[in-house]
Amino acid sequence: MRELSFIASYLQADDDYTIICHVSPDGDTLGSGLALYGALRKLNKRVQIVCQDPLPRVYAFLPFSDALTLAEGAMQTQNAISIDCAAPDRLGTAAALFENAKHTLNIDHHATNGAYAGDNCVWDTAATGEILFDLLEMMGLIDADIATCLYTAIMTDTGNFAYANTMPETLHTAAELLEDGADNAYITRCVYRTMPFPKIKLLGLALSQATLFCDGRIGLSRISKQDFADAGAAGEDVEGIIDYIRDVDTVEIAILVREAAAGVCKVSLRSKTTADVGSVSARMNGGGHKRAAGYTDHGTLDEVCDRAVQMTSALLANL
């Protein structure tokens, strides 16, 4: 694994960079990627930030977010940097930009990361944003806009600092970002306290279909394509819904299954205390962490839900 001093030299040496965020972008990949974009702009570098999928509405407040380019409209560069991507398939349609680059760098915090780039910087941190903080602080590039991006990255991947991955050093980093100009109240309001009405309707539909299994230790909800249509909601409106299932007092494992296309479903998994849902995701060629993971499955909504319950039930039986 490369040291931060090597990464800093690499960023200063050339003038042709593509930053790639993972598919279905969340706060960590966007906050970290946009922070790096802003830093490279401060260094007067030519840089683009790319993703397969468009920017979710909830993150439109982030500085530099209007620079995010869809992969199909991006230019090939000599240098490509993946941000918060545990595996190459998480690059989606931007994978060609990565594969065809002369130099590749992988910055990530997932334990399942296979060090797939030419150079890799993979640390065991709560969020990729923590790695970017250490890097950009060392380079003297953090200002209020970059601090806002990094604070959002760390805040979202720790569930507003509520998850078990929140370590003392995580809070120290957050405090330094507040000193650098991040506004906690503003960012929290944008991410957690501002919700479009279609998302409220989708949440209601999802909660009305919640079911408990294994004496209440598993909670599952499902969202069909018809549910999305009835609510007038988009795929990004699913974010955060699974937390309501996990918050049920008896639930150890929460499952949210959403129909993405005919015969294709996205499965999200969360655990409360001990269950390693990342192991279930890995069996299905997915990714994530011990307490938060996900994968894609094929079949009807009923079939995918049944498989998810079977696998998580077996996981609980072995605890």
Domain of residue 175, CATH code: 3.90.1640.10
Domain that holds residue 237: 197-317
Q: Distance between CA atoms of 316 and 277, rounded to whole angstroms?
A: 10
Q: What is the reported pTM?
A: 0.93
Interacting residues of 47 by C-beta distance below 8 A, sequence separation 6+: 17, 18, 19, 37, 40, 41
Give me the phi and psi of 16, to 5 degrees please.
-160, 85
For the cut 80, the answer to whether the pLDDT of residue 1 exceeds it is: no
pLDDT in tens, 196-231: 999 999 999 999 999 999 999 999 999 999 999 999
Residue ending a domain, among 168, 192, 216, is 192
- Percentage of the chain beyond pLDDT 70 is 100
Shared-domain flag, residues 52 and 180: yes
Residue ending a domain, among 162, 192, 222, is 192
- Percentage of the chain beyond pLDDT 90 is 97
pLDDT in tens, 239-276: 999 999 999 999 999 999 999 999 999 999 999 999 99
pLDDT in tens, 63-93: 999 999 999 999 999 999 999 999 999 999 9
Count of domains for the chain: 2
| CA distance to 6, 38, 44, 55, 181, per residue, from 9 (Å) | 5, 17, 15, 30, 26
Shared-domain flag, residues 90 and 150: yes
Residue ending a domain, among 192, 211, 228, is 192
